[in-house]
A and B are shown apart, each in its own frame.
Chain A
Amino acid sequence: MKKTCIKSGLLLLAVLLLNGCSSMGGSTGDANGDGSSGAPVTDANGDNGDATTSGANQGGQWQGNPLDDPNSLLSTRTIYFDFDQSDIRPESADVLRAHAAYLLNNAGASITVEGHCDERGSREYNIGLGERRASAIKRFLQAEGVADSQINTISYGEEKPVDSGHGEAAWSMNRRGELVY
């Protein structure tokens, strides 16, 4: 029970970090977007006086591909798993539904789901476990109606850790599925 709390704490932390990053990304993205916010504007009369006014940053009126929208659920591409488990955690469902909706609306799009494990246990068994995780994500997307042909899976087992540490903090980040468009 305690372990679960720590894990969800870590996940929460990860989500907060991601959000932190995405709001920064949001303002950059906005500047590349419609260019309205923060830019000098002239009034309707064309009276270009000494004073200049500017609109406040609305924060994230995204106009590009929703895949690139840092405020979209689609920006979350990593799904975490419990030790030696391949069940989709309830908190991952919304993210996966968002990806399913995108794939349904974009029949030409496809993804590769990568399954990854922490370093514990034997390497080839972990290849099997990583495939189970990738398949669990694939099945979830298929249940939402996504076509089989849009989803490729590959298991890297424990061969591609994102954190090379040797403790639960690292392991919890390495037990994951990654959605690669």
Chain B
Amino acid sequence: MIFLRKVFISLVLIVLSTPAFSNLTIEITEGAQGALPIAIVPFKWSGSPAGLPAHDVSEVIRNDLQRSGRFNPLPVASMLAKPGSGDEIDFRDWRALQMENIVVGQVQPNGSGGYLIRFQLFDVYRGEQITGYSVPTTAADLRSSAHSIADIIYETLTGEPGAFATSIAYVTSEGKGENQRIQLKIADADGYNPQTIVSSKEPIMSPSWSPDGSKLAYVSFEKSQPSIFVQEVFTGKRDKVSAFKGINGAPVFSPDGRYLAMTLSKGGNPDIYIMELRTRKLRQLTSHWAIDTEPAWSPDGQELVFTSDRGGKPQIYKIPVTGGKEQRVTFDGDYNAKASYSPDGKSLTLVTRINGNYRIGILDLASAQLRILSTGSLDESPSFAPNGSMIIYATTYKGKAELSAVSFDGRVKQRLALQTGDVREPVWSPYKNRKRSR
């Protein structure tokens, strides 16, 4: 059985690919041994065949859990039965398949254009229900409701919040020369529902979410002047907050959303500044002839890490938010850049150079151990999921710029390939619709 499982996970699974919508496609490129075996039985549709929902809710849940690296969902083809509710489950079937948990459910019509999803999560060995919900939804929200259900299952079984009902922002580039189009887009964390929120002939860079997920800060080179904008995600309304002479770059919201750290070179070379958004008041945090850039806040807002080549090569340094003495953080290798904190503040993800290859690493701050997570040669822009379980980053595959995601332990990797154009600079959104206290 263990052998069989290995065969399953070593297969490259291509799922969720819908070329017509230019979605990101997800492939599992490395297996997950030790992941929890779970059966997500296809949910029963109780309406008319003509009213069948456009998305298979249980399939969305199954793919989410697989992507996390923490679960190993049973393929539908291997299921001995397909119970639609708790009283239809014969737990012996699922024990025989060595499942630890099973999820069953139904989708039924609910008013005009609405649906009601019911699901139950069972412990296979004890034969008991662990949790179950009824979730009213609409056709437009079907996938997002499925992601929320995956979050509930994830949290119930791992004790940690799920991050499936979240978004990613990223930059795409299509065409060349006069026909080049650079776009800032937002999609569901699984790559579905891509929406363009900025489109330009000139470069767009460095998107950063506000902590409540309602705004994005980014750099745009329109009118041949790099400027920092803060844009409301849902209304499209935006403010130009910084357009000084020279570099206006690397904006990043403070954890309380009141400040924006950024890189400005108005003083003659790139230094880190902090802007209070309400008053637009600026405070210079670093002052050095070297390049200081790519600031990132610690989760408690008390210090920032940044990239500096003050020692000759780019390395990561940290500085208290109130200013003061910088301290070097990275010592492995001759190139470390673009660091950001894990949500628990215990580690940094960053770009590190090894034998001429640029790869994604995780630096454990307590032990100063650097682990390499990626295997590409031009990997960059790592961004933690809000629960810290995964990191999304930009990579190059067969000459094309793509996104990839890797689980924190490095065991599960997925390619998220756009059908056309280059895609880069992914940033994972905060949790949606709920406040988490972790």
Contacts and interface: CB of A to CB of B under 8 A. Distances in A.
Nearest to A165: B399
Given A124-B250, A127-B293, A159 B358 contact: no
Main secondary structure of the interface of A (DSSP, over half): mixed
User: Interface residues of B toward A: which range?
Assistant: 20 to 34
A149 to B, nearest CB: 13
B350 to A, nearest CB: 9
Interface string B202-235: 0101100000000000000100111000000000
B247 A123 contact: no
B319 interface: no
Contacts of B247: 127-128, 131, 155
Interface in A130-172: 131-132, 153-157, 159-160, 164-166
B37 interface: no
Contacts of B399: 165-166
A156 to B, nearest CB: 6
A125 B358 contact: no
Nearest to A127: B249
A179 to B, nearest CB: 15
Given A125-B314, A131-B270, A154-B226, A160 B203 contact: yes
A157 B226 CA distance: 11
A120 B226 contact: no
A100 interface: no
B378 interface: yes
B338 interface: yes
A122 B225 contact: no
Contacts of B203: 156, 159-160
Contacts of B307: 122, 124-125
User: Interface residues of A toward B: which range?
Assistant: 20 to 34
A128 B265 CA distance: 9
B294 A122 contact: yes
B402 interface: no
B337 interface: yes
A165 B400 CA distance: 10
A121 B293 contact: no
B378 A120 contact: yes
A128 B351 contact: no
B206 A122 contact: no
A74 B337 CA distance: 37
B294 A124 contact: yes
Contacts of A120: 358, 378
A119 interface: yes
B226 to A, nearest CB: 7
B431 to A, nearest CB: 26
A93 B399 CA distance: 35
A121 B291 contact: no
Contacts of B425: 123
A128 B226 contact: no
Contact of B225 (A123, A154, A159): A154
Given A121-B335, A121-B337, A123-B206, A131 B246 contact: yes
B33 interface: no
A103 interface: no
Interface string B246-278: 110110000000000001010001100000000
Contacts of A96: none
A119 B205 CA distance: 14
Nearest to B295: A124
Nearest to B290: A128
B337 A125 contact: yes
A113 interface: no
A168 to B, nearest CB: 11
Contacts of A173: none
A132 B221 contact: no
A112 B293 CA distance: 23
B387 interface: no
A128 B380 CA distance: 16
B381 interface: yes
Contacts of A112: 224
Contacts of A165: 399
Given A154-B225, A156-B221, A123 B205 contact: yes
Contacts of A156: 203, 221
Contacts of A125: 291, 293-294, 307, 309, 314, 337-338
24 contacts: A121-B335, A121-B337, A121-B351, A122-B307, A122-B337, A123-B338, A124-B206, A124-B249, A124-B250, A124-B294, A125-B291, A125-B294, A125-B307, A125-B337, A125-B338, A127-B250, A128-B265, A128-B270, A129-B291, A131-B270, A132-B269, A132-B291, A153-B246, A155-B226
User: Top 9 closest A-B pairs, CB basis?
Assistant: A128-B291, A159-B203, A122-B338, A122-B337, A124-B250, A128-B270, A124-B293, A124-B294, A125-B337
